Homo-oligomer: A and B are copies of this chain.
Amino acid sequence: MTDIKTKHYIDSIYYDIELTARVMKVLGAQVFSKLQLSLTPEEHAALDTIYCNPDICQRDLAKLILKDRANTGRILNSLEEKNLITRCVDVKNNRLVKRLAITVEGNRQLEDINKKIKDFLKNISCKFSPEETDRLQHSLREFRKSLKEFAEMNI
């Protein structure tokens, strides 16, 4: 059997990133399930991002939460049905957009959820220090920057 002188899938950085993303996703789902939160992780990500970017339009939100427009629209349908956000038709660059705003109830629930998550994580001793986490985050951003050159990401 001839040897293939290439890094194999399992040994690649691709694999480590996917695996880490997977672990974090499972972990996040476990936290949301254990705390019996009223939102899915996706809904929370959308709501939290709207909170940080008031009056953002749907397409820009889609780019931020890493979903396509269709998917984002459906997540927003759910948040709207729960009366946590409102969609307000407006004009941006002379184009019709739907600007997103959090309702009073949405704000209340978001603060409640974020507090619960914060408290929960506080009680977990993570061997990874905040400084190490910062370094890893920075490294990931640099890595992405080096990739973006030859990848056309169009969301």
A contacts, CB < 8 Å to B = 1-2, 4, 6, 8-10, 13-14, 16-28, 30, 44-45, 48-49, 51-52, 64-66, 107, 110-111, 114-115, 117-118, 124, 126-128, 132-133, 135-137, 139-153
Contacts and interface: CB of A to CB of B under 8 A. Distances in A.
B140 A48 contact: no
Given A6-B118, A14-B24, A17-B24, A143 B151 contact: no
A132 B149 CA distance: 17
B4 A111 contact: yes
Given A9-B44, A9-B48, A127-B145, 13 more contacts: A2-B111, A10-B48, A14-B24, A16-B141, A17-B17, A20-B21, A23-B148, A30-B152, A126-B147, A127-B149, A128-B146, A133-B143, A135-B139
Given A16-B140, A18-B66, A117-B6, A151 B44 contact: no
A136 B51 contact: no
A45 B12 CA distance: 11
A146 to B, nearest CB: 4
A6 B114 contact: yes
Contacts of A18: 21, 24-25, 66
A23 B149 CA distance: 11
A4 B49 CA distance: 13
